[in-house]
Amino acid sequence: MQEKNTIRRHPASYERLDHFKVAAVQMVSGPDVLDNLSEARRLIGMAASKGARLIVLPEYFAIMGSNDAARLAVREHPGEGVIQNFLSEVALEHKIWLVGGSIPMVADTTNKMRNACLVYDDKGKQVARYDKIHLFNLNIGNEHYHEGRTIEPGRQVVVVDSPFGRIGLAICYDLRFPELFRAMQDVSIIVLPSAFTETTGKVHWEILVRARAIENLAYVVAAGQGGRHINGRETHGNSMIVDPWGKVIDKLPRGPGFVIGELDPRYRGSLLTSLPALSDRVLVSS
Residue 211: which residues within 8 A CB-CB, separation 6 or more? 178, 246
In the set 59, 76, 152, 198, the catalytic residue is: 59
Verify whether residue 125 is a known catalytic residue.
no
- Residues in CB range of 183: below 8 A, 6 or more apart: 7, 157
Q: Structural domains in the chain?
A: 12-268 (3.60.110.10)
Q: Quote the CA–CA distance of 271 and 106 in Å, as a whole number.
A: 41
Q: What is the 3-state secondary structure (H, E, C) of 259-271?
A: EEEEECHHHHHHH
Active site residue 59: yes
pLDDT tens digits, the chain, 286 residues: what are they?
A: 345 556 787 877 677 888 899 999 999 999 999 999 999 999 999 999 999 999 999 999 999 987 878 999 999 999 999 999 999 999 999 999 999 999 999 999 999 999 999 999 999 999 999 999 999 877 777 776 778 899 999 999 999 999 999 999 999 999 999 999 999 989 999 999 999 999 999 999 999 999 999 999 999 999 999 999 998 889 999 999 999 999 999 999 999 999 999 999 999 999 999 998 898 888 887 7
Which helix H or strand E contains 8, and what residues bound it? strand 7-10
Within the chain, residue ranges assigned H as helices are 33-49, 68-73, 82-94, 178-183, 198-216, 265-274, 277-280
CA of 215: how far to CAs of 8, 129, 165, 251, 273, in Å?
21, 24, 18, 20, 15
Q: What is the pTM of this model?
A: 0.94
- Catalytic-role residue among 39, 117, 152, 172: 172
Q: Are 16 and 9 in contact (CB under 8 A)?
A: no
| 15 noted as active-site residue | no
Q: How far is CA 216 from the centre of its chain?
A: 16
- Cα separation, 46 vs 43, whole angstroms: 5
